[in-house]
């Protein structure tokens, strides 16, 4: 994909976050891998006003090109892209339900088999760290080990994907699961699926991806 089209798709993804209710205002950020670095949404601009030209190009050493400053969360995006060569896109947002769980310091356990969409038996909640810091990157990397998404304590959620489309769909699914889990908690403690069953589900998800040309999701 050309950089021009990638810039367009980053803006469209950022706008879709807000349109789908998983983000609001200028919070949240989106990035995509490029040759030698990545593109990321700018700091302090509402996504309805953001244009492809506003997207900031960054090198992996943290240097930036463009008339605007990159998102303050660029170290998180850089570190995730560097540590996970199989992914090409990172989405960070503050979805209402996922953030509510994160503020309780709770991840999402195996209350529903779709939890496996994030790559494991549960969706972890990373330890709290100040936004924009290396400590946050380290906490997120730990929670994301073997996973495609995690919650960030007292902060929000982050999702990884092989494409911008895939990472948006995963983020939406995680927020749906967070809403369902919180709703179930209002009635009591949900029944949790056992490790053996979740392992079966994970294998079925792998087979689904293979049967469908390696696409993300179920």
Contact 177, 123 (CB under 8 A): yes
209 — pLDDT class (breaks 50, 70, 90): low
* Residues across the chain: 218
Please give the average per-residue pLDDT across 160-188, as a whole number.
Answer: 97
Catalytic residue check, 73: yes
Sorted by sequence, the CB contacts under 8 Å of residue 145 that are 6+ apart come out as: none
- Answer for the pair 95, 156: CB distance below 8 angstroms, yes or no: yes
Residue 69 predicted with pLDDT over 60 = yes
Q: Could you tell me which residue, 211 or 207, shows the higher pLDDT?
A: 207
In this structure, is residue 216 part of a structural domain?
Answer: no
**DSSP letters spanning 147-184:** -SEEEETTTEEEEEESSHHHHHHHHHHHHHHHHHHHHH
Per-residue confidence at 207, pLDDT binned at 50, 70, 90? confident
Exposure string for 114-138, b = 16+ CB within 10 A, e = fewer = bbbbbbbbbbbbbbebebeeeebbe
Q: pLDDT grade, residue 212 (50/70/90)?
A: very low
Taking alpha carbons only, the member of 21, 28, 8 closest to residue 90 is 28
Q: What is the pLDDT of residues 48-61, one digit of tens each?
A: 999 999 999 999 99
Instruction: Return the CATH number at 176.
Output: 3.40.225.10
The answer for 62, left when phi > 0, alpha when psi is -120 to 50, beta otherwise, is left
pTM of the model: 0.94
Does 218 reside within a domain?
A: no
- Please answer whether residues 166 and 159 qualify as being in contact, where contact means their C-beta atoms are separated by less than 8 angstroms: no
| Number of structural domains the chain divides into | 1
Instruction: With beta carbons less than 8 A apart as the criterion, state whether 101 and 189 touch.
Output: no
pLDDT at residue 33 tops 60: yes
Q: Which of 84, 119, 95 shows the shortest CA–CA distance to 217? A: 119
DSSP-derived 3-state class of residue 136: helix
**Amino acid 217: pLDDT:** 40
Among residues 73, 142, 189, 197, which one is catalytic? Answer: 73
Q: Which domain holds residue 154?
A: 3-211
Query: Quick one: pLDDT at residue 26?
Result: 82
Specify if 217 maps to a domain: no
Q: How far apart are CA 9 and CA 128, in angstroms?
A: 30
Tell me if 23 is assigned to some domain.
yes
More confident residue, 71 or 27: 71
Sheet containing strand 149-152, strands side by side: 64-65, 56-59, 37-40, 29-34, 89-93, 156-161, 149-152, 125-126
For the chain, give the percent of residues with pLDDT over 70. 95
Q: pLDDT class for 157, splitting at 50, 70, 90?
A: very high
């Amino acid at each position: 994909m050309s950089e021009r089209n990638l810039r367009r798709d980053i803006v469209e993804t950022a706008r879709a976050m807000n349109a789908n209710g998983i983000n609001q205002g200028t919070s949240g950020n989106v990035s995509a891998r490029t040759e030698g670095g990545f593109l990321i949404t700018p700091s302090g601009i509402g996504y309805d006003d953001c244009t492809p030209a506003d997207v900031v190009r960054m090198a992996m050493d943290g240097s930036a090109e463009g008339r605007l400053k990159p998102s303050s969360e660029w170290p998180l995006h850089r570190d995730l892209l560097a540590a996970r060569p199989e992914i090409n896109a990172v989405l960070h947002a503050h979805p209402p339900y996922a953030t509510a769980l994160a503020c309780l310091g709770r991840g999402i356990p195996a209350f529903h088999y779709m939890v496996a969409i994030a790559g494991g038996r549960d969706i972890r909640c990373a330890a709290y760290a100040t936004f924009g810091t290396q400590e946050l990157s380290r906490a997120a990397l730990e929670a994301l080990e073997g996973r495609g998404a995690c919650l960030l304590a007292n902060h929000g959620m982050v999702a990884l994907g092989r494409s911008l489309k895939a990472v948006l769909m995963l983020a939406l699914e995680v927020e749906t699961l967070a809403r369902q889990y919180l709703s179930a908690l209002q009635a009591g403690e949900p029944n949790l699926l056992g490790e053996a069953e979740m392992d079966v589900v994970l294998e079925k998800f792998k087979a689904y991806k293979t049967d469908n040309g390696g696409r993300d999701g179920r």
